[in-house]
Amino acid sequence: MKSAWIATITAFLAACTPVGEQASTSVAASSSDLEGAALFVANKFGNTLSKIDLGSGAEVKRVDSCKNPHELSASPSGEHVALACYGGTTIDIFRTDDLVRVKSIELGDNARPHGIVWHANGSLYATAEGQKRVYWIRRPLARDANPLGFATGKDGSHMLAISPDGRHAWTTDLGSKTVTLVDLVTRRAPLSVEVGVEPEGIALSPDGTALWVSARGSNKAFDLDPENLEIRREVATGAFPLRLAIRPQGDVAVTSDLADGGLTVIDLATAKPVRSIAVSSAEEARARLQVTILWSDDGERIYVAETGSDTIAEVDYASGTVLRRLQAGDGGDGLAILGGR
């Protein structure tokens, strides 16, 4: 029964069509350390971009974006947010204060950009799933952004991680069941290794010594050597772990387990699951369809996008409590956060 539902989920994600049920939301009192902080949400079914005031929990702005927007990333300065237009061919850049679109970077036919990172070095990096490429955009706000493309050669290059020095990219390739290492400087041939079934979530440890990948079809997370992609350790997770995010402190990773509505917490030193956080019940998970996860900068909260109910769950990491559910647009998915402690 569960396997049949997971097959349905897979078809749902591929088609990117919303579920009809709208789950109810509850909002807890805001904390003083969130005053001035904002959460940005890409609403992939509504083709919009939302800004939520985390102090009040209110959605303060929503604007039209592009077709089927997915992942988001904020600029190092906090002045802009970049949006991957999965249903099109561009990366669009918006001001964070008023959500005015200031730039649209064209990647070419059938690009389907998805994973995106606005690096501390000022460059933008993005996957172009339709072209089997990674793009490096050194000056995203310049008149001529001049995106540089690097082939992965793999089907479904979906999410990515970037090295601290900006010289290497790693992608999860859903269709090919691989993880690919791309050298952005020497342009040597990319290195690809099979990792589980449908690898999707990916994150590099803060010190750059470990690459963690979650494979949604295997219900596992994997610790890889970033240099040669050797699988060093594997960890059982909850069901359908389609995202993985490492805490800013570098001590744990969490996976977003869509099929059972939980977060699996993995101790990175021991590579063992140490706890599970219930964001919703298994029954509720069918309606909420949790996807993207994002840590607050201080590592105290986890934000969980619930695409099916148009909500973002705010989870207290220490207690595992869902503090409140924030209302976003239709099909909220990609997340970016600015400000706060």
| Secondary structure, 3-state, 91-134 | EEEEECCCCCEEEEEECCCCCCEEEEEECCCCCEEEEEHHHCEE
Residue 168's pLDDT is what?
98
pLDDT per residue over 136-145, tens digit each? 999 999 999 9
Rounded Cα distance, 170 and 197, in Å = 17
Domains belonging to the chain, first-starting first, are 37-338 (2.130.10.10)
Spatial CA neighbour of 201 closest among 143, 146, 266, 142:
266
pLDDT per residue over 94-110, tens digit each? 999 999 999 999 999 99
Q: Which of 28-42, 153-167, 263-277 has the least mean pLDDT?
A: 28-42
Residue 5's pLDDT is what?
52
Tell me the two tokens of residue 64.
């039209």
pLDDT per residue over 303-329, tens digit each? 999 999 999 999 999 999 999 999 999
- Given strand 211-215, what is the order of strands in its sheet? 199-204, 211-215, 220-224, 231-236
Over residues 209-229, the mean pLDDT reads 99
3-state secondary structure at position 33: helix
The secondary element (H helix, E strand) that includes residue 68 is: none
CB contact at 8 A, 69 and 332: no
pLDDT grade for 13, boundaries at 50, 70 and 90: low
CB contact at 8 A, 119 and 137: no
Rounded Cα distance, 80 and 97, in Å = 8
Average pLDDT, rounded, for the chain: 93
CB contact at 8 A, 159 and 201: yes
Alpha carbons within 13 angstroms on the beta-carbon side of residue 39 total 35
Tell me the two tokens of residue 55.
């102090």
Written as one string, the DSSP assignment of 222-248 is: EEE-TTT--EEEEEE-SS-EEEEEE-T
DSSP state of 130: G
